[in-house]
Structure 1
Amino acid sequence: MEIKKIMVIGAGQMGSGIAQVCATAGYEVILNDLKVEFVERGLGTIQKNLARQVSKERITQEKLDDILNHLTASADLQDASNVDLVIEAAVENMDIKAKIFAQLDEIAPAHAILASNTSSLPITEIAAVTKRPEKVIGMHFMNPVPVMKLVEIIRGLATADEVYQEIESITKKIGKVPVEVNDFPGFVANRILLPMINEAVYALYEGVATKEAIDEVMKLGMNHPMGPLTLADFIGLDTCLYIMETLQEGLGDDKYRPCPLLRKYVKAGWLGKKTGRGFYVYE
């Protein structure tokens, strides 16, 4: 089966990035969200990213126009009725994802592969709401998608070998590096990253050092491109909390207990860069 048409569900930071790299690779891409204005905002982000590439002479204006011509806006899930692959990049919540996958199972053609960009939720559980669990797989992209090379590919319990191979091949075609990971809470990236971020929040909570000092230690001492508290703001503190809760619930170990300060900030609505305030304040 040759994949020609892809629907990306969710036009936020991750979804728009996934749509951009798929369209750049020459795929026909439908970018879908609940409302037309959400999709238009996502397409605007893509256009801005590409315009920056043109100004730096990394791509031509013709290439920009070609990429945009490969993108179609959608606010109706029924538009999945003629696609070969769906990549879901909705909010990190099992109830929402399960609902989307149950609907997609009814709408998408029988041959279509259903992929989730979940960063921590079990693919097997998502697949269980469909009648095609062998065609359900995880594609965990890293943020920002156009820049980061890694895609964790997660097999569910029933994922077919040929589906895995097809997704591995597509991942390479869109210029990414696929890494196979088994279906455990947090997979590899977030099982290691989020406890480190959570520990940095504990260090701040316990007064070990200021937020600036904690970030500086990890940047200069461990050669990280950004400190863990800055990174948490970038990811979204609500997402960080949700992943920590998923790890604690899924693995049953107290070492994954979210820091009370993280919970406090989320309850205050200080979710990081997207709300203008998290550990740091943003203009």
Structure 2
Amino acid sequence: MNIDAFWIILTGALVAICCSLLGCFLILRRMAMVGDAISHAVLPGIVLAFLFSGSREVWTMLIGAALLGVACTFLIEFFHKKARVQADASIGVTFTTLFALGIILISVYAGKVDLDQDCVLYGEIAYVPLDIWLTESGLNMGPRTVWIIGGVLVLLLLFITVFYKQLYLTSFDPAFATAIGLSTTLWYYLLMGAVSLTTVAAFESVGAILVVALMVGPPATAYLLTDDLKKMLVLSALAGTIASAAGFYLALWLNGSVAGAISVIIGLQFLLAFVFSPSHGLLAKRRQPIAVMKANAV
């Protein structure tokens, strides 16, 4: 394995772990597509950051995108609670409106600038080794993206470890959580803030499409394999990491898109879990009636 391949796989694995951990809680809350909404809704934030600063510096773009990501989660919850529309409808209305606003802003104010929705949606993880972080003394610290995503992962691990009980209760039983004094609204916004941070930190290098695939696919696969949340978190992170490595070598073999190959591996993992899961798999469910019939016959 050459050094470029190492950095690409490491970046994919770090993003996969971040997205997979958060995706477990989103799936339990039946809000798996919030990551998709945020990844699209940050586009106007990127454009506005450029228009106000006149700079395409990464930190400026990240701040603008992060603010719109938080605004997106607020609007989703606001429409769901105040307008009493279904959560999926609230997500759909919010992200399509904000994404369309971003496209309009680009076409009107930034049409001649290298700033477009394709950069946000597709990204290119294969370019990660080219974005090197050099210190003032000229020391090569490796790709900047690895440090950004690594820092986000540390924050997420601390967040989930310290507040595991609160996240567990508000995800599984909001009514009980409220009864014992936990603010479900507060923990919703904290979780959505973590999702926004992860999405914004990852989309520059891997693209929003892959972020969504990693935030939904591995957690859904783990959900089929276990009924224990802690095991689900571990299995989800492991599945995402395996998909990142296997997807890279598949793309190398096919000479195709790395992000596309990773997404295909994620889909295959889910299909295998769907068929062969010992408790929730298709084959297991078919065997259950036969076992019941045999037991009744005895």
- TM-score computed with the length of structure 2 as normaliser: 0.27
Larger helix proportion of the pair = 2
Higher RCO by CA contacts (8 Å cutoff, separation 6 or greater):
2
Larger strand proportion of the pair = 1
Which structure would you say has the larger Rg?
Answer: 2
- TM-score computed with the length of structure 1 as normaliser: 0.28
